[in-house]
Amino acid sequence: MNKTKARPALPQAHDLEPGLVVATYGRHCLVETPEGRRLICHPRGKKNQVVVGDQVLWQIAGDEGSIEKLQERRNLFYRQDEIRTKSFAANLDRVLILIAADPEYSESQLSRALVAAEAERIRPIIALNKSDLAQPFAQAWERLVPYRAMGYSVMPISLSPRSPVADDGVASLCAHLQGLTTLVLGPSGSGKSTLINRLVPDAQVETGEISLALNSGKHTTTSTRWYWVPALDGLAPQDAQTGTGRTALIDSPGFQEFGLHHIEPTRLAECMPDLRQHLGGCKFYNCTHLHEPGCAVLAQVETAEQPGTISVRRHRIYAQLFEELGQQRW
């Protein structure tokens, strides 16, 4: 009589340890314990794919760890195009979108990042770098008028070490980051690394340690990493549950494109505050806000004859995104 081979017993919850994912590379990641110890872990199965910011339960498996359970996420910030999905980080309080006055930033890419944040109900902050460049900065700042009118925090900063401005704006920016977990997002050359290195003096050393631990060499420059910012913790409000108000920044790779294929076109207007405030007033329930008569959104698009609460540029971006997201996806 053949005996059925017994399956290995699944680990019980009380046998597992909690941890925070602080870096990922390929199929393995770096997990930090509540005591601050870090170790390499491997997710068990495809359902446990993790990103930076994830809270997990793990157990020792030889010299490393095995992630047995992914805790429920508050949110997940990611982009998606026709080919693949790129997840940045999970369980965020803020997304800091860092752009520069020179070279000129893409308003379309800025809007896409804002839509992705709105879709996950993550509060975005816009920081415009290079306030020391008078004319380019003035022009870029003027282009951000609609975003300030929407209620977004838009902050001027100068990350140049030779900045001639008396107030570089970094202290004001830090006040929006204290005690929170913030993803720093932006195109290449916007100043992300400069900001991280300024607020986390040991960031380069820490990056090297992560590269060594994950054996990923130079490729960690294209991965997402978690940094604690102890310099800001003393000014942060204390968390009622944990008794701490620790500040964290998550550095992310620069991007040139930001796909939104995970968002249905009919949901797009809800993720754009200037359009969202007029939803519900249209004549037709399935209004696309592109050409229909009696559209409350179109009635608010600014024209030469009358001002409106929606800029022509913003509505043009909406129309382009709506068409892009409405195309058949394979």
> CA 231 → CA 13, 34, 97, 98, distances in Å?
35, 19, 21, 21
Strand partners, 94: 123, 182
Q: What is the CATH number of the domain that holds 317?
A: 1.10.40.50
**Lookup: tokens for 34:** 């509540």
* Structure confidence at residue 227 as a pLDDT band (50, 70, 90): very high
Q: Is the pLDDT of residue 106 over 70?
A: yes
Residue 27 resides in a domain: yes
d(CA 31, CA 24) in angstroms, rounded, equals 9
Specify the pLDDT at position 248: 96
Maximum C-alpha span of the chain: 90
CA dist 57 and 31 (Å) reads 10
- Same domain flag for 109 and 228: yes
Q: What is the structure's pLDDT at 119?
A: 97
Does residue 170 sit in the same domain as residue 220? yes
Give the pLDDT of residue 160. Answer: 82
304: confidence class by pLDDT, cuts 50, 70, 90 = confident
Burial class of 168 by CB neighbour count within 10 A (0 to 12, 13 to 18, 19+): buried
pLDDT over 90 at 93, yes or no: yes
**Is position 158 within any domain?**
yes
Contact in structure between 108 and 119 (CB atoms under 8 Å): no
What pLDDT is stored for residue 57 in this prediction?
95
Instruction: Indicate whether 228 and 273 sit together in one domain.
Output: no
- pLDDT, averaged across the chain: 86
Kindly state whether residues 111 and 184 are assigned to the same domain: yes
How far is it, in rounded angstroms, from Cα 248 to Cα 288? 39
Domain co-membership, 246 together with 97 = yes
Q: Which DSSP state fits 321? A: H
Instruction: Give the 3-state secondary structure of residue 93.
Output: coil
Q: Look at residue 33 and tell me if it is in a domain.
A: yes
Same structural domain for residues 43 and 160? no
Tell me, what CATH number does 49's domain have? 2.40.50.140
138 and 207 both lie in a single domain: yes
- Split into its structural domains, the chain has a count of 3
**Partners of 127 in the β-ladder:** 98, 155
**Is 329 a residue whose pLDDT tops 80?**
no
The model's pTM is 0.87
**Per-residue model confidence (pLDDT) at position 202:** 82
In terms of pLDDT, which residue wins out, 309 or 327?
309
pLDDT above 80 (res 1): no
- Which CATH number does the domain housing residue 175 bear? 3.40.50.300
Residue 148 included in any domain: yes
Note down the domain range covering 224: 76-251
| 42, 70, 98 - which closes a domain | 70
What integer pLDDT is reported at residue 207 of this predicted model?
A: 55
d(CA 116, CA 258): 9
* Per-residue pLDDT tens over the stretch 146-172: 999 999 999 999 998 776 666 789 999
Q: CA 115, CA 118: separation in Å to the nearest integer?
A: 5
Alpha-carbon distance 132 to 140, whole Å? 12
8 domain-assigned? no
Which pLDDT score is estimated for 210?
56
Domain check: are 128 and 195 in the same one? yes
CA 117 to chain centroid: 7
